Amino acid sequence: MTRALPRRPASARAVVAARAGDLSRRRLRLIRAVVLVGVGVLVLQLVNLQVVRAAHFAKLSSDQLLQNVTVPALRGSIYDRDAQILAMSIPTSMAVADDFLIKDPAAEAAALAPLLGIPATRLAPKLEEQNGYVVLSSAVTAASTSRLTKIQLPGISLIASSVRSNPDGSLASTILGGVDNAGLGSAGLEYEYQHLLAGQSGSERVLETPYGVSLPSGRVVILRRPIAGESLELTLDAPLQYVTEQALGQELVTSNGVTGTAIVLDTATGQILSMASLVNTNERDSTLPAPQSWPASTGVAGVQDATNNLGVTQTYEPGSVFKIVPFSAALLDHVITPTTHLSVPDQVVIDGHVFHDAEQHGLEDLSATQVLEYSSNIGTYEIARDLGESGLLAGVSRLGFGQPTGLNFPGESQGLMANAQTFSPTDIAALPIGQVDAVTPLQVLDAYNTIANGGVFVTPSLVRATIDADGTMTRAPVSAARRALPASIAGELTQMLIRVVEGGTGIKAAIPGYTVAGKTGTASIPYPGRAEYIPGDYNATFVGFAPAQHPVLSMIVVIERPTPDFFGGDIAAPVFARVMNYALHRYGVPATPGLIAPKGGSASVSLFQDVT
């Protein structure tokens, strides 16, 4: 039988219920209190962030977007001697799109197209790329920049920039050089004078997106203003440079030459008035490396400016133009006079090696002047033999061979020359006729310019002055000079070189109304790294000065591998005549037919004494 449990009194149940209710109310109050405290803390934090420390956090936020931006300086210009612009920087802007901010790419492309000169069909896809930074154009003109600034297209920013321009096209490109994509000089004078032309960059503090796009609401703070670069005034004469390049280029095409070099000097000051290095892209020879050129036409079909200044960077065996060394040394040491007679066979054998003249002949009786006039190799050897090794090497050094010219052009070579330690038995015959030496065209011209300048060697130069951003001009120092030969010896050599042009190998260098002195050279080209010559390959050279009695201008022309004709008197001399004729008339140099040189030697006259 089940026994019933005793029932709790009603009052006890009420007490339990009351206690449970109190506990629930206490829990509710606690929750409310916690919530109120939490809300209070949040309110206090919001007040702290939004009011008390608002400025601090605003600065932190701003600093995340503030960037110090480099403002490039405007690069200096390069002028010729008469202030004709050869190279200049044109201020432009770079148009950049933040395509996340562009809502209507088609409409903005249509608005941008006429300002950027780019079809809207090409712009629209760029505005839809969704990468935050798209360069639309790197050369927006000043007029288009002004219009773009006014219309303020969403998502389009303009960044200051510039482009380098050569108003005369490829003229003197080898000398001027160029700049790379970063605007830094990469070759030529642009490279050599980078520190002057570049100026000093400035800096600004701007608000930018992480992609480098300026925010339109941002205030620009100028930290440092850019300082424009200095400009260069060169010794080059742009019209003469043009004539030099055209004459040289046309001869390259006519003679099928591979490269050509021509330099014109002001005899007294050493200033380079024109300097051309050209490449005939129509001619290639797998035997030697193909010369590099700037990809712009000179106006002569297939002819371009060489990237390297061949006049100072490329060495070659000069051939007979080097004969000025033994002749000047022999005259100075009284080994010969201009009238000394020599018995000259057509060949000699030295240490098992055969040396010969260009043409076969019997034993000839020639004066020293005739040896030079007809460019006899064997006659020159006989003079060098009597002069001796030490006298010959002294003559080499005296005229500046194997040494830097002082021009300091990038990549300039000082050449390779035999010396007392390396001198071999055959060098006494090979060196005087320009066969075992490597020289630059400018070194050869410097030697002949020394004769033209009355025996005074003058350092060549290309920069006439620098010009500050405010227009202040600073003249370059006068070129260093040294006496290399007595004036009397220079005078004798001048008379002998006149004979070369009047009746010798250089008659095609003659200029009507003027007496010209000069020398031809026809030199074989050696295989690279081999002691033998390339059959049928020659360098044709002519170097000289005019008017011979009172020289004003000196010039050299070198044409590499002409064919089928290859003699310097036939290939290089006519270019000399054409350019020199133009230059003498351009500068108003009086004609001097039949004038006899002063007893003390020739006296050069500078056309540009204002510089010195």
What is the C-alpha separation between 161 and 94, in angstroms, rounded?
A: 6
pLDDT (0 to 100) of residue 411: 94
Residue 518 amino acid letter: G
What is the pairing mode between strands 78-79 and 85-97?
A: antiparallel
CB 500 within 8 A of CB 520: yes
Residue 501 CB: number of other CB atoms within 10 A? 29
Query: Percentages helix, strand, coil for the chain, rounded to the nearest 5?
Result: 35, 25, 40
pLDDT, position 85: 96
* pLDDT number for residue 599: 38
Low-confidence ranges of the chain (pLDDT < 50): 595-601, 609-612
pLDDT of residue 412: 96
pLDDT value at position 57? 58
Mark out the alpha helices in 388-526 (DSSP H runs). Answer: 389-398, 427-430, 441-452, 487-503
Quote the tokens at residue 164: 């380098």
If DSSP codes are grouped into helix, strand and coil, which group holds residue 330? helix
Q: What is the model's pLDDT at position 134? A: 81
What is the model's pLDDT at position 596? 41
Contacts of 107 (CB under 8 A, 6+ apart): none
DSSP symbols for 143-154:
HHHHHHHHH--T
What pLDDT was estimated at residue 271? 98
Record the tokens describing residue 303, joined without a space.
């002819």
**d(Cα 306, Cα 302) in Å, to the nearest integer?**
12
Q: φ and ψ at 299, to 5 degrees?
A: 105, -15
User: Which 8-state DSSP code applies to residue 227?
Assistant: B
Looking at residue 209, its pLDDT comes to: 58
How far is 162 from 93, CA to CA, in rounded Å?
Answer: 7
CB distance 115 to 140 below 8 Å: yes
Give residue 212's pLDDT. 53
Domain boundaries, the chain: 238-586
CB neighbour list of residue 151: distance below 8 Å, 6 or more residues apart:
111
Residue 100 Cα to chain centre, angstroms: 43
Q: Which two tokens stand for residue 253?
A: 């095409």
- CATH superfamily label, 238-586: DD-peptidase/beta-lactamase superfamily (3.40.710.10)
What is the pLDDT, as a whole number, of residue 529? 76
N- to C-terminal Cα separation, the chain:
144
Cα radius of gyration rounded to whole Å, the chain: 40
Q: How many CB atoms lie within 10 A of CB 153?
A: 18
Task: Pull the structure tokens for residue 594.
Answer: 């039949």
Does the global pTM surpass 0.75? yes
The CA distance from 534 to 566, in Å, is 14
